[in-house]
Amino acid sequence: MTDFLEGALPEDDERRFIEHLAECSGCEHYLDQFRRTIATTGELTPDNISPDARQQLLSAFRDWRLQ
């Protein structure tokens, strides 16, 4: 998802991804959630996030693992 949104997929992979989205409403919905989250949160940089918020984010994701 992120590579697609960032325009980082190779052309063939992007084409297959778009074809998949046309067939898979679950992935289309998931992509829409990504887009809405990005639009809502904007771009976080070290300069525009408070130290408290940074710590909360680091704590929330510190033990997160892909399953």
What's the whole-model pTM score? 0.60
User: Is residue 24's pLDDT more than 90?
Assistant: yes
User: Is residue 63's pLDDT more than 60?
Assistant: yes
31 closest CA partner among 45, 47, 56, 14: 14
Q: Helix, strand, coil shares of the chain as percentages rounded to 5?
A: 75, 0, 25
How does residue 33 score in pLDDT terms, banded at 50, 70 and 90? very high
pLDDT for residue 65? 67
User: Is residue 8's pLDDT more than 70?
Assistant: yes
What is the Cα–Cα distance from 46 to 58, expressed in whole angstroms? Answer: 12
Q: Taking the domains of the chain in order of start, what are their residue ranges? A: 2-62
How does residue 19 score in pLDDT terms, banded at 50, 70 and 90? very high
When the pLDDT of each residue in the chain is averaged and rounded to a whole number, the result is 87
